[in-house]
Amino acid sequence: MNDDAILQLVTFKLENDEFGVDILKVQEINRMMNITKIPNTPSFTEGVINLRGKIIPIIDLRKKLGFESKAYDKATRIIVIELDGIVLGFVVDSVSEVLRIPRNTIEPPPSIIGGVESDYIEGVGKLEDRLLILLELEKVFTNSERKGIEKINLN
């Protein structure tokens, strides 16, 4: 892969940490909306939303990555992402910006960073005044968690 390539990332915050995901995986970013709870779903699953006629499971990324819960506020956003054919919404504290950074500024992750196990982390981006954690969302879920989410996503 070309080290001079530019990555385009959607950046967002959880707690005081800044994360990024590849913009090509992001379908849209929405303000918080009413979430319908679904019984007997994993604890990190908030429920489902009706997004223009399509039912989408909503995942609280704070819960999934082990951060403490926080009440939603007007900065809270839902990032809609497609992972291997499953459309999901991830609740994040806030969405910061779309960022373009050279791939060669990304370093492999240390074994544990920001309280998050490194299996989920693609790398750490070194920016001028801060670090950006690149999440590999495909690895956030175990196989059994993914099957549970697929059952919710019966469109």
Burial class (CB in 10 A: 0-12, 13-18, 19+), 100: exposed
Give the pair of three-digit tokens for residue 35: 């979430």
Of the candidates 21, 43, 17, the one whose C-alpha atom is nearest the C-alpha of residue 113 is 17
Residues with Cβ within 8 Å of residue 141, at least 6 apart in sequence: 64, 149
pLDDT in tens, 142-151: 887 887 777 7
The amino acid occupying position 63 is K
Q: How far is CA 14 from the centre of its chain?
A: 10
Residue 41 has phi, psi (to 5 degrees) of: -110, 160
The C-alpha atoms of residue 99 and residue 85 are separated, in whole angstroms, by 25
pLDDT in tens, 112-140: 655 556 678 889 998 888 899 999 888 88
Model confidence at 25: pLDDT above 80: yes
Of the candidates 61, 43, 32, the one whose C-alpha atom is nearest the C-alpha of residue 137 is 61
The model scores a pTM over 0.75: yes
